[in-house]
Amino acid sequence: MTTDVASGPENPEKPPANIDKLNANIARIEELTQRLVQALSHKGTPNPEVEAPGPEFFAKAAAAYWAEMLDNPGKLIEQQVSYWGKALRHYVEAQHALAQGRLEPPADRSPKDRRFANPLWDTHPYFNFLKQQYLFNVEALESAVAELQDVTPLERRRIEFFTRQIIDMMAPTNFLATNPDALERALETEGESLVRGLENLVRDIELHRGELLVTLADRDAFTVGENIGTTEGSVVFRNRMMELIQYEPTTEKVRERPLLIFPPWINKFYILDLKPANSLIKWVVDQGYTLFVVSWKNPDASYADVGMDDYVEEGYLAAIREVKAITGQDRINAVGYCIAGTTLALTLALMRKRGDRSVGSATFFTTLTDFADPGEIGVFLNDDFVDGIEREVAKKGYLDKFFMGRTFSFLRSNDLIYGPAIKSYMMGERPPAFDLLYWNGDGTNLPARMAMEYLRSLCQANRFATGNFEICGESVSIHDVHVPVCAIACETDHIAPWRASYAGVREFGAKDKTFILAESGHIAGIVNPPAKDKYGYYTNAGAMEGDEDAWKAAAEHRRGSWWPAWAAWLEKRSGKLVPARVPGDAAHPALSPAPGTYVVETPGA
């Protein structure tokens, strides 16, 4: 019988038991470092104008601060003394505890923050000192910004937003040496977690051609058409702008009037068809509707001159025409989601000008039509950003999905940037197999002309709400929307704020208007199937005449999904029951099975 002898001073010739693992990790780090350098070499020439606000913004913020301080120097002294006093008192208390031989932090009066959930943030003197000093800094910065005077509401919102970005970026959790979770994991795995984290970092930079964008979901866990986007149907029409999908009926009878959904072309349509359990598309079909959905083309540089006119003529009007031809109906019901809802409103206004009554009712999901207050996204709508985007798209012919993805991520930076980066790059964790986050990372490009028309004419100039938006040779207004309308907005939506959505719908010319306020945000509030019984909603039978807060105060809160309430509204506007329709007809043969070909294309790949 033999016994392995451990290495150590008494047996110096035998290597440590984990030396092979250590050497292997070192070799992997060297290999990954070479890949990292190679990946970074593919990064394009940086465009500072789309990376951060211009110098004028920071100069204006600094000037406003110092002007306030010069007018009221006592306020400056009060702010600084308060900050210095807290920071110094905390330092003295920490030193006093150590001098007495107590390895414990001083009293911690800081607010709870889920970033600091590890018990070491409260019990370990080093980590607790870092946390408290960071939170003192946060409080001082927020106080200084809150007390700024002589700035416009938009300027204040921008200063607050970008100050928060700096605050979030500098959190001690974002750095290895000051993150106890990451350090503990590194010790537990003998550094393996850091090697895996480096692998994840290199993978993301390679994937985005030298740019860093955190992968939020396991890219190998889902395949569109296999385990997401699987509702049965066929592409029955295709042009350069879109594929038109008609879904197989699941009921013997269907409503006479077909339903056509226009999803946003900033992302892909299968957000409404993730898994069968939370698929709005499947649910609508199961309610007895002939359902059509548009799947937009993911544009490349050849689409540079495609504008809003093209989306309306070759997207909306073409789809409406083909749905009518396939079903033999003179009128259809339409749905628009986000930017597709905005463009549906433009289309309806245009159709009224042309005397076209093809749409019987319209439903809007999280849609802005009045951009007087665009919410958080408004911080990116000043000329310092938009001018940079204009130069970017003029060079490339399209707005790369990378910029859109990153911009929306910064609206929830802790959830969509720093939190996932910590887990992936410092903890070495594999991204989760989460269908919603997978879809979130599967973005699309925007044609150059369309992107600038949307940003300049709709977002910045707000021309549709002011009555002079030019589309397809007509000047249209928000008041030209006269069909019966149902609008669903989401209470915590950071992309299309519900109050702004309400304000736009209130200005529609339609007499028949229903507004539903769903709980949760831009996606979760819409993709909320009845079986989950997760989020509720608000309804108000009164007219949309007062302001949004008065509407909500008088509204009734109901538990569960808003889907059945919408279905009841839609049913009254969908005609009698008729035999179910199979996809297409002799003039519209099946071109490919759903989800089609456009949804899986990756331009430039």
Mark whether 352 and 451 lie in a shared domain: yes
Q: ∠119-121-124 over CA atoms, to 5°?
A: 90
**pLDDT at res. 376:** 85
Sign of CA dihedral 411, 229, 224, 296: negative
Report, as an integer, the average pLDDT of 402-416: 83
Helix (H) or strand (E) holding 514: strand 513-518
| Residue 542 within any structural domain of the chain | yes
The answer, as to whether pTM is greater than 0.85, is yes
Mark whether 101 and 238 lie in a shared domain: no
| Residue 208 within any structural domain of the chain | no
**pLDDT at res. 12:** 47
**Euclidean distance between CA atoms 293 and 586, whole angstroms:** 20
Reference 248, options 284, 295, 285, 287; nearest CA is 285
**Euclidean distance between CA atoms 515 and 530, whole angstroms:** 19
Residue 11 vs residue 340, higher pLDDT: 340
Mark whether 458 and 377 lie in a shared domain: yes
pLDDT digits (tens, 9 = 90+) for 76-91: 556 666 656 666 777 6
- Specify the DSSP class assigned to residue 270: G
Give the max Cα distance, the chain. Answer: 97
| Residue 194 within any structural domain of the chain | no
pLDDT digits (tens, 9 = 90+) for 501-552: 999 999 999 999 999 999 999 999 999 999 988 899 999 988 898 899 999 9
| pLDDT at residue 167 greater than cutoff 70 | yes
Residue ending a domain, choose from 128, 145, 174? 174
CB atoms within 10 A of CB 293: 29
Indicate the pLDDT class of residue 8, thresholds 50, 70 and 90: very low
| Residue 262 within any structural domain of the chain | yes
**Euclidean distance between CA atoms 58 and 522, whole angstroms:** 30
CB atoms within 10 A of CB 604: 11
| pLDDT at residue 599 greater than cutoff 80 | yes
Mark whether 152 and 258 lie in a shared domain: no
Is residue 516 within 8 A of residue 366, CB to CB? The reply is: no
| pLDDT at residue 366 greater than cutoff 50 | yes
Mark whether 520 and 439 lie in a shared domain: yes
pLDDT digits (tens, 9 = 90+) for 431-469: 999 999 999 989 899 999 999 999 999 999 999 999 899
**Euclidean distance between CA atoms 325 and 159, whole angstroms:** 53
Mark whether 160 and 246 lie in a shared domain: no
Mark whether 433 and 529 lie in a shared domain: yes
In sequence order, the 6+-apart residues with CB closer than 8 A to the CB of 572 are none
Residue ending a domain, choose from 138, 157, 174? 174
Mark whether 161 and 237 lie in a shared domain: no
**pLDDT at res. 46:** 66
Amino acid at 215: T
Report, as an integer, the average pLDDT of 174-186: 93
Domain that holds residue 153: 48-174
- Residues paired with 261 in a beta bridge: 293, 335
| Residue 596 within any structural domain of the chain | yes
| pLDDT at residue 4 greater than cutoff 80 | no
Strands 485-490, 359-365: pairing kind: parallel
| Residue 227 within any structural domain of the chain | no
Mark whether 348 and 239 lie in a shared domain: yes
| Residue 189 within any structural domain of the chain | no
Percent over 70 (pLDDT), the chain: 88
Looking at the structure of the chain, the number of domains it has is 2
Q: Give the residue numbers annotated as catalytic, written as ranges.
A: 338
CB atoms within 10 A of CB 244: 25
Residue ending a domain, choose from 128, 152, 174? 174
Mark whether 576 and 498 lie in a shared domain: yes
CATH of the domain at 328: 3.40.50.1820
| Residue 216 within any structural domain of the chain | no
